[in-house]
Structure 1
Amino acid sequence: MGSGQVTSTSELFDFQGKRVVVAGLGVSGVPAAKVLHARGAVVTVVNDGDDARAREQAAELEALGITVRLGDGATLPEGTELIVTAPGWKPDKPLFVAAERAGVPVWGDVELAWRLRGPDAAPWLAVTGTNGKTTTVRMLASILQAAGLRTAAVGNIGVSLLDAVLGEEEYDVLAVELSSYQLHWAPSLRADSATVLNLAPDHLDWHGSMEAYARDKGRIYEGNRVACVYNVEDKATEDLVREADVEEGCRAVGFTLGAPAPSQLGIVDGILVDRAFVPNRQKNAQELAEVSDVTPPAPHNIANALAAAALARAFGVPATAVRDGLRAFRPDAHRIEHVADLDGVAYVDDSKATNTHAAEASLASYEQIVWIAGGLAKGATFDELVARSAKRLRAAVLIGADRHLIRDALARHAPEVPVVDLDRTDTGAMLQAVTEAKRLAVAGDTVLLAPACASMDMFTNYNQRGDAFAAAVRELGA
């Protein structure tokens, strides 16, 4: 960890008369354009699409006096002094290439929110990682609330950051979920404490390489004031801490599913234990909660709980609030969600496991599995996932456009595992998949939907895919 006082960038930025381009309509673009316009900026919104929804949003903004250019998101308007982009726009887009050539800065919605914070703004406890971000941020918010603090889960989840920093509600601290896209476009963000939960290949088509993806994730540690929280079992996260330039006195704090060393949180005899935020951490430890207080108590979810606890403890939260907050927390739908037990077989919906890293964590949570998998691979390979999980697989049922990639990996690394390959991508395929899984399962097994793939080949999103799984299970149990 580098050290040295980091200059604050939270002073209010003067937008009066500034020529600002907002790149992209949608969830972040429309509110950003309104906020900038209200602060006196001369705003032009550019958008690639020109569909009915975009025209409706454009009309709303034009009524306020904001210029909107639909169907042309590539050209840099003359005189542009700043671009505020939707987080999903790729860095290699012609608009940004032209901006770099012209020396025009590019911010995302997170950077805009950070710059608009008032002088007494609530500090940010920030979370990123390939998997587990939303769960960890919501756990963290639950713990902070249990401590009596005014807080909200914000960012890539829940309340938008612009609403959180500009709204009338006052907060003591914010639990902030940040994606790699958002971090890429947030150069001056400085969190109070932050964590990178884990790192695995994801969104490489956007970032261009694993190195660039990791570098953007690592931005979350820049300028941290109290603690950089890393995953002891994922050395890449510790490497990012070592490379970060932080404020003097900021500490590296690890979390582990094993017994913790000093300056770590971990597990001892079924107890979540803190050896970081205690007096004389060489000899002392503080009990925080029991593993059974975490729902569900799957290994990767316990890791999420430890990361949330570390961030909360870095903010001075007492141990009892960690326990109470974890007990009160319930995960969102489609995240290792137990749907039903039929004939001694558990049916679990982890439709949110949209990449191999998440699917591996899900598969590691059960001993005997009939695995429902497949969808859009997004360039992923499945050999490591299958090789590491093979001993847990009783059978596999494959669906979706890229199921052959998983089938081939199973043939190479788990040839003894029976495979049902459903050659259909209509939404009704899920009922057939669950029917086949029921036929293959025996009492004590878990039928697990952990697709390791995106859902858009068959479903609108992972929520609809999970709903289809749950509906199929209920139909078979009726």
Structure 2
Amino acid sequence: MGSQEVSSTVDWQGKHVTVAGLGVSGIPAARALHERGALVTVVNDGDDERARAQAAELEALGITVRLGDGATLPPSTELVVTAPGWQPDKPLFLAAAEAGVPVWGDVELAWRLRGDNGRKPAPWLAVTGTNGKTTTVRMLASILEAAGLRTAAVGNIGVSLLDAVLGETEYDVLAVELSSYQLHWAPSLRAHSAAVLNLAPDHLDWHGSMAAYAADKGRVYEGNTVACVYNAADPATEDLVREADVEEGCRAIGFTLGAPGPSQLGVVDGILVDRAFVANRQKQAQELAEVTDVNPPAPHNIANALAAAALARAFGVEPAAVRDGLRAFRPDAHRIEHVADIGEVRYVDDSKATNTHATEASLAAYDSIVWIAGGLAKGATFDELVTGAAKRLRGVVLIGADRALIREALTRHAPEVPVVDLDRTDTGAMSEAVARAAELARPGDTVLLAPACASMDMFTNYNKRGEAFADAVRARADESA
């Protein structure tokens, strides 16, 4: 079945649908299904003030809501539509499996409903991976916009896919970020082209194993029409392409930070080049952009740009639009964000680096680093990270609940690196961390906040952690001015 066609038509009238979870995806799903005549029951684990207010709005429409009971499958349920974060081993899903009731996620529902408003559905260019998804999708959207296409960055990026496919705007193409959770519950998704940026252990408590996590990521390639984009430096991503059942004529397209081979995009003498979407890929290469057009030009971000370029080229975008889109792109806050230079020391906020894989990429971007790290480890180990970064470390300042795990890895693998262990988890610790890092730094160094840990032991989220770092740096800059 072609990925440009509506995947299936469902007669929703009178169909008993259970929506699991109130929230960003659950509420739009409940509304959309109710509008189409389905008999909707929303179940939710929580029963707090916010949930009760949301329930009241839905009940006013005629939607049934059960708070404080997300475990029981309502009688007569013919379909479950779940929020992506609900774990597959929840009793609700086990009961659904036993009763032969299918379970869809919000992405699956959006895929099934696209075209429901009578317009031709927009193709999806999909991106997944352990790290870099949001940046790559936003780069892709910027390139597509530079090509004059009506597009939006949607999915796990914060814009509801349901809103995108059912809204009033008629898109030419959608740049879609998909998490492993979303892909797990999206059995019939068939993208135009898709990319898996990288694979590293993450969310294993949810998926149960690395193999299951990888398999869910690999679902993004199923049924691709034009291109399956993989990371030549990460063989596991190419393995997923090999295992995928794609449409005839779909090609495997690699991206590499080195010189590209045929059917790859890569880098030659500071130029991003394409040897995949050219007339003679054995002998020709098409210049797309300069490395300096990528903001910031850190290695992992150049890889993101190449993946975005590959998907755009798969959709027929001209080289000039790749260059213009990359030049126009501005990264989100707290992603390798330059805050200030103080006394020839650069201060960089990568609070978004909440796992070791992201932090490894962040550390690789600089030659001499005073590293601020720590927080909630989420079961991570740090030996491999420290071993790889040891030669770059001028010093380390540790904060947060699980900092001892990083300190022990440093003792084993980088015993000569000075370590400041701040025995405090209050939010004011960041100001002291910046001050101690400044004492360790020398001209030419980078003080880098790349925690390799989650933030919730000290901060509401990684944004607040990054803001605390930036505030402390700017206060220091004002003092030295």
Match of 1:42 among 19, 39, 44: 39
Per the alignment, residue 82 of structure 2 pairs with: 85
Which residue in 1 is equivalent to 2:278? 278
- 1:411 counterpart = 2:411: yes
Equivalent residue, structure 2, for 1:142: 142
- 1:342 alignment partner AA: I
Letter in 2 for 1:401: A
Give unpaired runs (5+ residues) of structure 1.
none
Q: Distance in 1 between matches of 2:94 and 2:444?
A: 56
In structure 1, distance between residues paired with 2:348 and 2:9: 48
1:57 has 2:68 as partner = no
Cα deviation 1:119-151 (Å, max 9, x = unaligned): 610000000000000000000000000000010
1:17 to 14, 17, 20: 14
- The answer to whether the aligner puts 1:307 opposite 2:304 as a matched pair is no
Shift of 1:160: 1.2
Paired residue type of 1:26: G
Name 1:72's counterpart in structure 2.
69
- Where do 4+ consecutive residues of structure 1 move more than 6 Å? 4-7
CA distance in 2, matches of 1:6, 1:341: 49
Structure 1 position 96 matched with structure 2 position 93: yes
Give the structure 2 partner of residue 430 of structure 1: 430
Rounded to whole Å, the distance in 1 between the matches of 2:477 and 2:356 is 30
- Give the Cα separation in 1 of the matches to 2:295 and 2:252: 27
Q: Does structure 1 retain, via aligned residues, the 8 Å contact 2:382–2:406? A: yes
Match of residue 239 from structure 1: 239
Q: Tell me the CA shift for residue 11 of structure 1.
A: 2.9
Tell me the amino acid that sits aligned with residue 78 of structure 2: E
Question: Which residue identity is paired with 1:15?
Answer: W
Q: Deviations over 1:48-74 (max 9, x none)?
A: 000111001001111111111100000
Question: Alpha-carbon deviation of 1:159?
Answer: 2.4
| CA shift digits 1:375-409 (9 cap, x unpaired) | 11111110000000100001000111111110000
User: What are the Cα deviations for residues 199-242 of structure 1, in whole angstroms up to 9, with x where unaligned?
Assistant: 00001111111001000000000000000000000000000000
Question: Number of residue pairs matched?
Answer: 475
**2:50, 2:10 → 1: CA distance?**
31
Amino acid at match of 2:64: T
Aligned-partner Cα distance in 2 for 1:60–1:432: 46
- Offset of residue 477 of structure 1: 1.4
**Amino acid aligned to 2:271:** I
Question: For residue 107 of structure 2, what is the aligned residue in structure 1?
Answer: 110
The CA distance in 2 between the partners of 1:102 and 1:8, in whole Å, is 30
In the other structure, the counterpart of 1:124 is: 124
| Map 1:213-232 → 2, pairs under 5 A | 213-232=213-232
Aligned to 1:363: 363
Residues 63-105 of structure 1, C-alpha deviation per residue, up to 9 Å, x if partnerless?
A: 1111111000000111100000000000000000110111100
RMSD: 1.1
How far apart are the structure 2 equivalents of 1:30 and 1:234? 37
Inter-CA distance 141–125: structure 2 relative to 1 (3 Å threshold): same
Q: Could you say what secondary structure the match of 1:63 adopts?
A: helix
1:331 aligns with 2:331: yes
Match of 2:477 in 1: 477
CA distance in 1, matches of 2:476, 2:122: 50
Structure 2: tracts of 5 or more residues without a match: none
- Equivalent in the alignment of 2:183: 183
Report the 3-state secondary structure (helix = DSSP H, G, I; strand = E; otherwise coil) of the residue aligned with 2:61: coil
Q: Is the 8 A contact 1:6 1:246 kept in 2?
A: no
* TM-score between the two structures when normalised by the length of structure 1: 0.98
Identity of aligned residues (%): 83
Amino acid at match of 1:240: L
Q: Does the CA contact (< 8 Å) of 2:278 and 2:285 recur in 1?
A: yes
**1:173 aligned to 2:170?**
no
1:8: how far off?
5.8
Question: What is the alpha-carbon distance in structure 1 between the residues aligned to residue 19 and residue 159 of structure 2?
Answer: 21
